[in-house]
Amino acid sequence: MRRLSAILGALLLATPAVAAPQSPQAVAQAITQAAQAIAPPGASLTLGPVAGAQYMQACTLPLSVSISGTAPYEQAAAHCPSPAWTLYVTVTVAQTENVVIAARPIAAGQTLGRGDITLAREPVSLYAGRQVYYDPAQLLGASAIMSVSAGGILNPADIAEPVMVKSGQTVAVQVISGGVTLSLNAVATETGRIGDTILFTNPSSGRRFSAQITATGPVLNLQP
């Protein structure tokens, strides 16, 4: 009997203890810290399932996390050095920015006033790859090319820049030559918006020349 008890005791001592499971919360915390370190300011993060961590043995050393992919959809690899295992978790990065939107429905051909547009914080994913506006003031006086519903994000395809110069109008044209800037009164022969290059006539000489319309007025840049 004593011999049997001794054998049983030896077998029990030889049986390895069941390893503790890894905490999913610890994995989620490590991934969140790593993702936040490279996320744009103001971005919010959403992690995919981390429940798979409970089937891993508890890591005895600090976890290391690497992030791959491109926002808004990235992947985190949480690696445990001892015992060695790696858990892959999806990370969704929701970045937002203040952009100009329609404060109320805008009709095609309508001239934009202060009550028509406003700033709102919108997810970048809604307009990724498109040019948008960040300052309502730059659109005051612009015309809507097409109808825009309330809350719609405005982009250059929707808007015609404000008319800065009308045909027949006498305006001051900035003439830049090297480091010298002069002002010349000239008559516009065309109507122009910001970014347009139109013809002007010098009333003194009758000479015609082209100048680009900018936010501060027509500019003629003479190359040295």
What CA–CA distance (Å, rounded) separates 62 from 18? 21
Split into its structural domains, the chain has a count of 3
- The verdict on 118 and 87 lying in the same domain is no
Q: Average pLDDT in the 25-51 region?
A: 93
**Residue 4 maps to a domain:** no
Where residue 43 falls among pLDDT bands split at 50, 70, 90? confident
User: What integer pLDDT is reported at residue 54 of this predicted model?
Assistant: 95
DSSP letter (8 states) at residue 51: G
User: What integer pLDDT is reported at residue 67 of this predicted model?
Assistant: 96
User: What integer pLDDT is reported at residue 59 of this predicted model?
Assistant: 96
- From 111, 137, 160, give the residue that closes a domain: 160
- The verdict on 122 and 184 lying in the same domain is no
Concatenate the DSSP letters of all residues of 115-151 into one string.
GGEEEEEEEGGGSTTS---S-GGGGTT-EESS-B-TT
Q: Average pLDDT in the 137-151 region?
A: 92
The whole domain housing 38 covers 21-94
What CA–CA distance (Å, rounded) separates 86 from 63? 9
- The verdict on 101 and 143 lying in the same domain is yes
